[in-house]
Structure 1
């Protein structure tokens, strides 16, 4: 953790705020202040806190793995998308082919999280003497404690139980404990941080404090961590078949990677009820699915505007972003996206997961799906998530703007064509503005990266309720609410294509499927398939793309082709601790299989 000391020095150097400050989370300039001068001044203390926010989305980022002009995120480590064809920072690819090891795995999560945890501890140590009013001191302390819990959650979902340093601030020459807490202890610690922070915070703030942690964020994180903890990968009562890290771990260390001794059925259900209660508390806080009023709004517009409107009431914890970085990462090359297949490209399996607009799966013979026209009458979320051949996107020529089709077909005269711009026949569209072209400097606006949003909370509630008590009308209603907002047609039975009277197993599959499409490209899929213990199935497939050919008469034909074989290795249920951390004195215990 020695790099944390350099990081804290950088944090302490913060002072000068840009004259054109957009929000609380804006970046700040650097000077040569020391610890005493920073925390003796309220503005500088706030800048120090703002810097701690800077890392909240590093795991979510579409640039988590990058090298030169090539970059991608966690989607490329799953069945959502193919990553760059040539990238040295390729931990994502090592997960895809099952070859990841401690010597080559990216160390960003271990390094980054503990750096920010130490920064929180620095702030908390000085908060009682900082020049704040009583209310402001309470709020700043609450935000810092939440952020500490957030960074520990990132550690938990990667590694399981991790060393917990509490409020300790280790000095450069002081031995640092690397003894791992158990999985249960780590979960409980994160929950305690959420509860402590919530007691110090408010539900919302005025516009000058937009983007700061609220009580909703505290409960939202609590909902997620308890949902993960209740899941069969960690809370294994034997009802869901499959090997777990607890099974692979040796003797006394089993409790580091899951609940051990393994729970009874009643104990497992009790953990699901904790997750249910946490999600229920968020549902009572006034959040809602973002919807768009008016008959002129296209189907699913509320879903689309959740990401392009930072003021959406669906957003619970988020990262405000100004500029065109996501367009540069995901757009086609003609819109100044990454060229030469060096970005993130959805698989055909991701496209096929979206149902028709009547909610029926495309494999249902009554759905109306046509292989000769595969994108017509689909769930509107498909077009808001994936760019396919002829998807209209903003194109600026000079200062003129118009929506023009993206030409991906094989003989396209543009850089967007398959085999040149994209390796699968698709580009990612999630969170992109239809009116933004990264070629044009002024075609951008503020958006929010949804680190926690209300749709997830509804799905958390539905999953926990189904696992604790079985299927019910209330569980089904949560899925219907999400599908209604998506623009899916209710149908004569009012079920939005969902099967009535599902068994628990059928409802489980329906919830898992809805999470896959609703939360696609939001850094959920990698963790979901693992905690459900379905990764051996979802991550051991030959992934496909779609080659579109333009015919002489102007029509198009569609041909599937193979892209990459995915091979799941059970050790990749968890990340390996970097070898350079294992090699340090202190005896950090490695995860099983590595």
Structure 2
């Protein structure tokens, strides 16, 4: 820990890198525009109002690293958390992608994801502490200082939330702004203590932050954002992984969860979600008139709408199009959905493809599917905007295609599918409209399904549980969207977990941390991962299911990432997670 904080001191202490606001259009870019204006010491930064605010903006600039698995300690690579689940696979060969696939033990206790997560989050904590230590002497109004302090505490709590769901209990630095000569040999706090700290910090800033901000401050946490992250936190920690007995003993046992079930934790999670719902300012974006489920797509390409509660600002236009679309559409194909995910999408009539009367045909597998399928996944011959003609043309994902198919050429899909989630149909990776959406951390569908899950686990599937789930299904364009009556708790649990997988496909690590907290990763991440290989003969396409990789998930070791080995070696008070 000492050397870690020393690293943070070098990067964020006496020598400070601050970011310029420099927005040309506040409505387009929000408040964050990362322009490095040099390295300035603390005395200079906090003697200037603009630089003081820009220093806090630099903490916001690290948030995107909590949204993806990062390649290395400073970022440098973007990998969707979906690539580490049964939902997806990275574009590169399996041997490389497994290094960033938490379904395989690759890299050991010094793997890049663990080190990047640990370093990034503690750098955020350190910067916040520097900010809180200095902000009172900045030439800002008292009201402005109060709000900025609350924002910074939220960011610190969010960093700890990401550390918690990755490692379990972690060292808590409090407000300390360490100097180089200080002793940083801090032990890990228990899981319960870490949860309590995050919850109290969120509670402390809730009454301070406003429900909304003007366009130039879009992306800063509102009161609703704080309440939503609290709801996510409490849903996480009420889940089986942290409440069932675990085989560990001694101090490590208290680092990894509560170790005993408590139904009241589900109630707290439900109450937290209901608090967000009762604000009355968030609503699902629904439009089934333009096309079934169109509101789901439309929500995903908007910068701001009634559904978004908290998102991370990005300043590069066409972010999703650049990373997820095929090479023929100017994209880089950073991830490929699996056949497992494709098969889990139901039909437009609300039935699973395996149910009697669903209408599913293996010879036409993409016909009449849940509308969210077509808005989330590119499959062979689905349509996308062509750069030359500026009309929609079929995307070739059959094996003979030189640009997008399943050969060994760069940017090709290893599963037979590509992501299109959050991509604008009128854009390619480097042409068409310029989208300016952010990375959605929390939206109202997340609150509804979290509420339904927690309430179902607490007291079973009452009318409120049904209403929350059916609202999401209705917006999705399912017809009929109503669930079967008389479901018991276990049946409703299955429905909710299915809806979460489909609704949040390739979004903010939902699937990864869901299968972890539900403690089902060993069920879904062990064994063959599938895809589809299409061949073309004349104008006829023939599909064959393939296995592109066999994965292994070691339980219970892999439910928690390892504390980076170099940190454990520096600090004998840091207890390593079991099995690493």
* The two structures share one fold, judged by TM-score above 0.5: yes
- Provide, for residues 234-281 of structure 1, a one-character-per-residue CA deviation record: whole Å limited to 9, x for no partner: 012xxxxxxx6x32x332331111114x24xxxx10111111110010
Q: CA 1:68–1:201 in structure 2 vs 1: closer, same or farther (change >3 Å)? A: closer
1:591 is aligned to 2:561 = no
Q: Equivalent residue for 1:73?
A: 80
- Provide, for residues 434-453 of structure 1, a one-character-per-residue CA deviation record: whole Å limited to 9, x for no partner: 1111232x632211211111
Q: Equivalent residue for 1:204?
A: 212
Q: Is the 8 A contact 1:323 1:445 kept in 2?
A: yes
Matches within 5 A, 1:1-20: 1=4, 2-9=6-13, 12-14=16-18, 16-18=20-22, 20=24
Q: CA 1:315–1:70 in structure 2 vs 1: closer, same or farther (change >3 Å)? A: closer
Q: Is the 8 A contact 1:53 1:147 kept in 2?
A: yes
TM-score, normalization by structure 1 = 0.91
In 2: Cα distance, 1:356 partner to 1:464 partner: 27
Q: Equivalent residue for 1:218?
A: 226
1:519 is aligned to 2:504 = yes
Shift of 1:45: 1.0
Q: Equivalent residue for 1:239?
A: none
Match of 2:318 among 297, 316, 324: 324
Match of 2:371 among 361, 369, 380: 380
Match of 1:173 among 181, 187, 199: 181
1:541 is aligned to 2:540 = no
Q: Equivalent residue for 2:406?
A: 418
In 1: Cα distance, 2:218 partner to 2:14 partner: 25
Q: Is the 8 A contact 2:325 2:420 kept in 1?
A: yes
Please, which runs of 5 or more residues in structure 2 have no aligned partner? Answer: none
In 2: Cα distance, 1:58 partner to 1:124 partner: 22
Please, which runs of 5 or more residues in structure 1 have no aligned partner? Answer: 237-243
Q: Equivalent residue for 1:257?
A: 256
Q: Is the 8 A contact 1:70 1:87 kept in 2?
A: no
Match of 1:47 among 28, 51, 54: 54
- Provide, for residues 39-88 of structure 1, a one-character-per-residue CA deviation record: whole Å limited to 9, x for no partner: 12111111111111111121323765799998532111110111233489
In 2: Cα distance, 1:69 partner to 1:102 partner: 20
Q: Is the 8 A contact 1:327 1:438 kept in 2?
A: yes
In 2: Cα distance, 1:347 partner to 1:19 partner: 39
Match of 2:153 among 145, 151, 175: 145
In 2: Cα distance, 1:346 partner to 1:287 partner: 34
TM-score, normalization by structure 2 = 0.93
Matches within 5 A, 1:176-191: 176-191=184-199
- Provide, for residues 106-132 of structure 1, a one-character-per-residue CA deviation record: whole Å limited to 9, x for no partner: 311110001010100111112222222
Match of 1:24 among 27, 31, 36: 31
Bigger shift: 510-519 or 169-178?
A: 169-178
Q: Equivalent residue for 2:361?
A: 370
Shift of 1:200: 1.4
SS at match of 2:242: coil
1:562 is aligned to 2:552 = no
1:129 is aligned to 2:153 = no
- Provide, for residues 142-178 of structure 1, a one-character-per-residue CA deviation record: whole Å limited to 9, x for no partner: 1101000000001000000000000011112211133
In 1: Cα distance, 2:85 partner to 2:287 partner: 35
Q: CA 1:171–1:66 in structure 2 vs 1: closer, same or farther (change >3 Å)? A: closer
In 2: Cα distance, 1:354 partner to 1:16 partner: 44
Shift of 1:90: 5.1
SS at match of 2:65: coil
SS at match of 1:142: helix
- Provide, for residues 1-20 of structure 1, a one-character-per-residue CA deviation record: whole Å limited to 9, x for no partner: 12211221597232644362
Q: CA 1:16–1:451 in structure 2 vs 1: closer, same or farther (change >3 Å)? A: closer
In 2: Cα distance, 1:62 partner to 1:211 partner: 21
Bigger shift: 69-78 or 459-468?
A: 69-78
Q: CA 1:368–1:431 in structure 2 vs 1: closer, same or farther (change >3 Å)? A: same
Shift of 1:473: 1.9
Q: CA 1:289–1:403 in structure 2 vs 1: closer, same or farther (change >3 Å)? A: farther
In 1: Cα distance, 2:104 partner to 2:162 partner: 23
Q: Equivalent residue for 2:428?
A: 437
Match of 1:311 among 292, 304, 308: 304
Q: Equivalent residue for 1:503?
A: 488
In 1: Cα distance, 2:256 partner to 2:376 partner: 34
1:409 is aligned to 2:398 = yes
Q: CA 1:110–1:65 in structure 2 vs 1: closer, same or farther (change >3 Å)? A: closer
